[in-house]
Structure 1
Amino acid sequence: MTSKRSLDDSARRAELQKKYFDRRRKAALAGMHLPTEHELLMGMPFFTDDLQHDIRAFAERLVPRLRQKADNIAVAAVVYHLEQLTVGAEADEIRNVANALAGAWGSLPATKRSWQQRCRIYLAHLGDHGAALDLARDALIMAASIEGLDDSTEQSVEMLRVALGWLSFAACDVAFLYLGKERNLHPKGARPTFAGQSGDALVHLIEQATRRSGQAAQKAAEEQQRNLDSEKTKSGQFQCGSRLADCDGAPAAVVFRQVGNDQTDGGKKVAKELKDLLGKPLPLVKKPDLADVRQTLRWEFPYAEETIDRLLLNAAQRKHAQLEPTILVGAQGCGKSRFARRFLTLLNVPHDIIPCGGVSDARLAGTPRGWSSGEPSLPVALITRYKLAGPGAVLDEIEKAGTSHHNGNLHAALLAMLERETACQFFDPYVEAGCDISYVTWLMTANSLAGLSAPFRDRCQIVQFPIPRSQDLPVLSRQIIADILENQGFDRRWVTPLDDSEMDAILQVWTGGSLRQLSRMIEGVLSSRKSH
């Protein structure tokens, strides 16, 4: 239900964005709205659908703002060249404005970057191949920056389409001799039309390749699982759980077959709590398109490509969404906890986050119903709450759990839950019967493996999680700003990326490493914006 609600919300947001864009498009055609640079890249027509009218309107709106600083010689030069655009503009006049903006860069406000980008848009539409190449770079950076928002995929793909389209037009430059002149691209039709058609064709090729790769991986994983099941059957090996199929043909499993001592008052109470689940197959989470999951994760965590591929390869081996018990090991503040939550979210696996630092007993294994504080084990509690056979748990900082055995030990209690052969008949002290918790996904984080016993480590796959790099700042900063805005109660779509000067200032101090430190720096930048 949660996944469906999330998809519905995304669809509604996408529909609202489309209506908003269409309204602005109609206003631009009617001469009531001057499109922004982002809107022009996304395909909105020029002001009154006329390039020259757009150039003139842009210049007329900008000149009065800059005249206030015209006592600065460099700014006065910008004003002069902008005034020339109000009369008529070809490529040379646009280049003069762009050069003047570069010359007055230090004296102009932060919006100067958008003015320069608009010049590149004009020049590309006027046939400047160099400007088209720069525009392709702009669109690629914007595609990377957009990622991380819940409804960002379509916008990012559209920006990639724009980048590939203008890159194709840039390659038409006769001065670009790739393997000889005879290999050059030759544009057909108007420049923006050619760019749009080329972008569509290239994105279509990528989508086709991604689908084929995903289908091949899925087919290989299913074949591997069939062979494994066949070998187990032939050898008489113990098979975990009883997977069934519900009315829709989706995988499911019976978790609760009986309640122990069900004639006692405590047993009757538990039986009543589980009445809708006893003896009934509970659904397993349907596995999403792993190619889409991979694409999203690689945009959000560009420094963790190897980790992403390793975990997805493991997830591909099952028909349902599940991961074998995994420990992500990495330095403090590298983003492994956020990655764990995001990974399970994209797999559509509902989950809880359990901080393990300081936990000094085995309460996660449940307590007997005879006690007034009796409660089920963590996996049983998750299964009954989400009414799924395969929910997930993120155990954060697992190595920091207490190791004393005075009231039980968390690591020891987890051993039976992590081993598939014992998990499918896990004795829950509250249910007082065996329960099949073998479909629960356990994803743990740790700064190091110190304190984790050899049997515990043996039950998990150990995956090293890398530290963020300085070159990832554009993507990471966008996500951090979005999180800060959301925590303050604002819409994540209001994100304004860091400009060049802000990024340069941060990179003087942050050269990669802790995201917590980076987050504090970005909070400082946002505070300084408010004070100006």
Structure 2
Amino acid sequence: MSIALARTRPVYDLHEVQGALERNRGRSPELDVFYERMLETGAERFVTTPSSIDALDPLFEECPNFDEVLDDLARYLRLAYAGNKAFGGAGVMQILLLGGPGVGKTHFAKRLARAMQTDCELISMNALSAGFVITGSSASWRGAKCGKVAKRLVRGEYANPVIVLDEVEKASGSTQSDPLAALYQLLEPETACAFRDEFIDVDIDASQIFWVLTANSVEGIPHPLLNRMAIYEVPAPTLEQAAAIAQRMYTGLLGELNLAAFDPRLGDVVLDKLAGVSPRDLRKTLLDALGYAVAAGREHVVAADVPIKATPGKGRIGF
């Protein structure tokens, strides 16, 4: 589905950047270079809007266990069209996806960004102990640099990227550095429009960011943060859904690999075996299965081609 780039939006004030550059000149060469790049690239960034109210429909098939989330997002998209507004900002609720490892939370966020035809930034919050990863660090510090939010908005093409904070319940902090503190401002469009990264020290408009937080549970997530999110419990795919996902991914791989001679359908025995594979491991498993089939001189996959490997330890983030 094509996406119309309907409008642009300034994400910072060029005059403010020029003034900051003049005040800083010579104090921090790295910051000078950053300001100069901001001036060179300009302040305008695209705000993407899906070209149709049906733009999210493919996700209902690709991520069938996310139907509750998609139902709400589809309504927000219709609201955006009804009011001739961008799909994002104050027009949507930022979302928190709850579910065990491997249910597809991170994949869903990436797929949503692709449907919106915008950037996707993944920030793992696992054991993150300092907020500067999000907010940047003061230019007076040794090795200072901007945070990932400002970097994405300044160096990217879009004002409305999807930013994924993965395993947000595992973020840790101290009285000096709370990695979640900046989110209270960033999740409110009224305050996010004047977000100030500590390294850049100029206002950045982060109000159009589409935030997706993921967690295994709400335990450890502050209540004020939960109150700012639409919270969804994401179940693991059913066996039927898992089979449909595997068949769809297999069909896509045949096209990618130019394997037109291969049987377009996977057999029931193969699909039953693939149903036990975590969605995040499914692509590699199918690639391996196709490789075994080719090596055996066959143009179809059999159950013996499907390698089922035990994953040591606890599953990692993602899909």
Alignment pair present for 1:401 and 2:171: yes
Alignment pair present for 1:321 and 2:87: yes
Separation in 2, partners of 1:502, 1:249: 44
Question: CA offset at residue 431 of structure 1?
Answer: 1.9
Unaligned runs of 5+ in 2: 297-319
Matches within 5 A, 1:123-522: 250-257=7-14, 258-259=16-17, 260=20, 262-264=22-24, 265=26, 266=28, 268-276=32-40, 280-291=43-54, 293-318=55-80, 319-322=85-88, 323-363=92-132, 364-402=134-172, 404-405=173-174, 408-481=177-250, 490-491=257-258, 496-505=264-273, 510=276, 514-516=278-280
Question: CA offset at residue 413 of structure 1?
Answer: 2.7
SS of the residue corresponding to residue 311 of structure 1 reads: helix
Would you tell me which structure has more strand in proportion to its own residues? 2
Question: CA offset at residue 347 of structure 1?
Answer: 0.9
The 1:431/1:470 distance shift into structure 2, 3 A limit, reads same
- Tell me how large the CA RMSD over aligned residues is: 3.3
The 1:287/1:483 distance shift into structure 2, 3 A limit, reads closer
Question: CA offset at residue 482 of structure 1?
Answer: 6.2
- Output the amino acid matched with 2:293: R
Which has the larger Rg?
1
Separation in 1, partners of 2:201, 2:247: 49
Separation in 2, partners of 1:405, 1:470: 43
Question: CA offset at residue 351 of structure 1?
Answer: 1.7
Question: CA offset at residue 299 of structure 1?
Answer: 1.8
SS of the residue corresponding to residue 349 of structure 1 reads: coil
Matches within 5 A, 1:38-77: none
Separation in 2, partners of 1:373, 1:427: 19
Separation in 2, partners of 1:273, 1:356: 29
Superposed CA offset, 1:335-376 (max 9, x none) = 111111001111112122222222221122101122342222
Separation in 2, partners of 1:325, 1:443: 6
Q: Any conservation in 2 of the 1:420–1:438 contact (CA below 8 Å)?
A: yes
The 1:492/1:342 distance shift into structure 2, 3 A limit, reads farther
Q: Any conservation in 2 of the 1:325–1:418 contact (CA below 8 Å)?
A: yes
Q: Any conservation in 2 of the 1:262–1:271 contact (CA below 8 Å)?
A: no
Superposed CA offset, 1:136-194 (max 9, x none) = xxxxxxxxxxxxxxxxxxxxxxxxxxxxxxxxxxxxxxxxxxxxxxxxxxxxxxxxxxx
The 1:434/1:521 distance shift into structure 2, 3 A limit, reads closer
Separation in 1, partners of 2:122, 2:107: 10
TM-score using structure 2 length: 0.74
The 1:317/1:380 distance shift into structure 2, 3 A limit, reads farther
Separation in 1, partners of 2:259, 2:125: 30
Separation in 2, partners of 1:256, 1:521: 48
Question: CA offset at residue 529 of structure 1?
Answer: 3.5
- Output the amino acid matched with 2:48: V
Q: Any conservation in 1 of the 2:243–2:274 contact (CA below 8 Å)?
A: no
Separation in 1, partners of 2:221, 2:192: 20
Unaligned runs of 5+ in 1: 8-247
- Identity across matched positions, percent: 23
The 1:365/1:505 distance shift into structure 2, 3 A limit, reads closer
- Output the amino acid matched with 1:321: F
SS of the residue corresponding to residue 327 of structure 1 reads: strand
Q: Any conservation in 2 of the 1:298–1:305 contact (CA below 8 Å)?
A: yes
Q: Any conservation in 1 of the 2:6–2:48 contact (CA below 8 Å)?
A: no
Q: Any conservation in 1 of the 2:65–2:235 contact (CA below 8 Å)?
A: yes
SS of the residue corresponding to residue 437 of structure 1 reads: coil
The 1:494/1:251 distance shift into structure 2, 3 A limit, reads farther
Separation in 2, partners of 1:330, 1:466: 6
Query: Which stretch has the larger CA shift, 307-316 or 450-459?
Result: 307-316
Q: Any conservation in 1 of the 2:109–2:162 contact (CA below 8 Å)?
A: no
SS of the residue corresponding to residue 56 of structure 2 reads: helix
Q: Any conservation in 2 of the 1:256–1:436 contact (CA below 8 Å)?
A: no
- Output the amino acid matched with 1:252: R
Separation in 2, partners of 1:346, 1:285: 10
The 1:384/1:499 distance shift into structure 2, 3 A limit, reads same
SS of the residue corresponding to residue 191 of structure 2 reads: helix
Would you tell me which structure has more helix in proportion to its own residues? 1
Separation in 2, partners of 1:420, 1:356: 22
